[in-house]
Amino acid sequence: MTGMSDTVYAEHVPALAASALTGPPEGLAAFPGRLVDWQRVHGRHALPWQQTQDPYRVWLSEIMLQQTQVSTVLDYYTRFLDRFPTVADLAAAPLDDVLALWAGLGYYSRARDLHRCAQDVVARFGGEFPRSAEQLETLPGIGRSTASAVAAFCFGERVAILDGNVKRVLSRVLAYEGDLAQARATRALWDIATRLLPRENLARTMPAYTQAQMDLGATLCTPKRPDCPRCPVQDLCAGYRLGEPTRFPIKSRVLKRSSQTLWLLWLRRADGAVWLSQRPVPGVWAGLFCLPLFDEAADLAASVGREVGDEGLHFLPMFTHVLTHKDLHLHPVVHDWPEGAADPALPGRWVDAAQRASTGMPAPITKLLGDGQTRLF
């Protein structure tokens, strides 16, 4: 098999879409069976969400695993199920409780969508997840790949996934020249992924095949140093035969990193309470409780009737918090609130140490407040 050009794919996208139920591309008939056999022997089997076909638990793991490493997700997954053992429990919980439990996992829109989705499952489907990818995709926060993963794992539906690992595996096997920054090339890859799906014993093969693609991408077909000698489809891989598997997948548009400087107003009372405000949606740390944020030090000082340089404003060392595509340069400023004074003229409320343990806060703010009592003063 040779690499397929952008032109070839562009010309055949409509045909591919119309022929999603045709056989696999030439030379790849053995591909699904090889992956299924490999996964049973060499794939991952001990992860907690692999021990169930409960769509609630599988869906929860799929949402948590988006842009997040397995090692990070494990503890959060267990804590979530302890607190919200069913989708009805999650739907009935206040959003602030969900955000508090999610704090530190990042991408907080996932937590808000998780809560909305649970409420939709209860309201629209009587607390039972729908059994088809098509219906699952109508729920908040569930895209095509997540819907397909839940449907394949839990119900054996013959539907393709196309997360980052799968895009990499298929692009290398095909030596796929389509630019995945372009929607047309991605649609064509979806169609090929569908043609490669198993066709028999779907209740057994679809969960194994779906997991195999994820496992192969996570353990052998890695972004920078693929372990080609151990790959079960090395002899089928056009990228390997070309001698340049890491050239694939092709994606021309790369998100540029940006940076932002913010000033954090750390108001604290003698009893240890701090003033927290809930962040607006959308925005940085949307929906979480945070120290009030300001773009300029002068605006921060003015919010408490001060000027930069006044006594009573303690400027702490700047630290940087790294988000996926942005660096936040954070400048904490401590101000001790006078005893008996009226509350600050800022949105928010006083939160004591005991309450902070159950309040959803961004991870760097939790760490700052936790460290501050001993490290800073």
* Token pair of 196 as six digits: 């490669």
Among residues 283, 276, 270, 282, which one has the least CA distance to residue 340? 270
Catalytic choice (11, 26, 62, 128):
62
62 is catalytic: yes
Tokens encoding 220: 């052998």
Give the torsion sign (CA, 223, 230, 162, 142): negative
CA distance 336 to 347: 18
Paired sense of beta strands 293-294 and 326-336, if any: unpaired
Residue type, 100: A
The 3-class secondary structure across the chain, one letter per residue, is: CCCECHHHHHHHHHHHHHCCCCCCCCCCCCHHHHHHHHHHHHCCCCCHHHHCCCHHHHHHHHHHCCCCCHHHHHHHHHHHHHHCCCHHHHHHCCHHHHHHHHCCCCCCHHHHHHHHHHHHHHHHHCCCCCCCHHHHCCCCCCCHHHHHHHHHHHHCCCCCCCCHHHHHHHHHHHCECCECCCHHHHHHHHHHHHHCCCCCCHHHHHHHHHHHHHHHHHHCCCCCCCCHHHCCCHHHCHHHHCCCHHHCCECCCCCCCEEEEEEEEEEECCCCCEEEEECCCCCCCCCCEECCEECCHHHHHHHCCCCCCCCCCEECCCEEEECCCEEEEEEEEEEECCCCCCCCCCCCEEECHHHHCCCCCCHHHHHHHHHHHHHCC
Integer Cα distance of 203 and 304 in angstroms: 63
d(CA 219, CA 76): 22
Known catalytic residues are 62
